[in-house]
Structure 1
């Protein structure tokens, strides 16, 4: 878990730096003040979901497999609710928000799936 947290923190910091560069140099008019909070939300959600999935994979790989789709569904619902709430509050910046949300979703989901696949492969071999 410690290695995952280090990698997750590194990716989050890299995204923050890249986001700062993009929004300060290329697209300052599209900067969203909520972006750092969105990044923190994805960081915490990814860490929590990974910890739960890791616990499930170590207990029973069969149960992990069955619950993985349910977890993915609830994650999508949670992120969709965040998007709908933000768009309802600030519909003027809906397009930049949705683009940022989708990029963060893709990056964090790819990282999470890669790490959990690595863990489940090693757990299944044992």
Structure 2
């Protein structure tokens, strides 16, 4: 968990820095106050889910694949509900929100899958 936590902190700080540069220098008209909260949201949910997946991997590797798929599907639907809920509630800069939300989803999912793959290889 420590390795994943360090990597996700590095990615989160990098995303904050890249966002700060892009939104202050390149496209300031598209900055939305929700941007930092998107990164914090994905950081927290990804780390919580990863912690739970590590607990599952420690208990039973044969059950891990099924639980991983179920948990990934539930997480994806949760993200979908959050995204749609925000769009319904707020009509401000929806395109910028969607781009930031989807980019964060892809980045954190790649990190999580890479780390889980590493854990599964080590456990076998």
Asked if Structure 1 and Structure 2 have the same fold, meaning a TM-score greater than 0.5 normalized by the shorter chain, the answer is yes
Deviation (angstroms), 1:2: 1.2
Which residue does the alignment assign to 1:2?
2
Partner of 1:104: 104
Residue 14 of structure 2 is matched in structure 1 by 14
Q: Which runs of 5+ in 1 are unaligned?
A: none
Structure 2 residue ranges without an equivalent (≥5)? none
Task: For residues 73-99 of structure 1, give each alpha carbon's deviation from its aligned partner in whole angstroms, at most 9, with x where no partner exists.
Answer: 111111111111110122231111111
- Given the two structures, how large is their TM-score scaled by the length of structure 1? 0.95
Cα distance in structure 2, aligned partners of 1:55 and 1:63 = 12
Answer whether contact 1:87 1:93 (CA < 8 A) is retained.
Answer: no
Q: Look up the SS of the partner of 1:92 in the other structure.
A: coil
Aligned length: 124
Matches within 5 A, 1:18-33: 18-33=18-33
- Cα distance in 2 for partners of 1:73, 1:17 equals 30
Q: Paired residue for 1:90?
A: 90
Shift >4 Å, 4+ stretches:
none
The two structures have a TM-score, normalised by structure 2, of: 0.96
1:55 aligns with 2:55: yes
Give the distance between the partners of 2:11 and 2:92, measured in 1 at CA: 29
Deviation of 1:48 (Å): 0.4
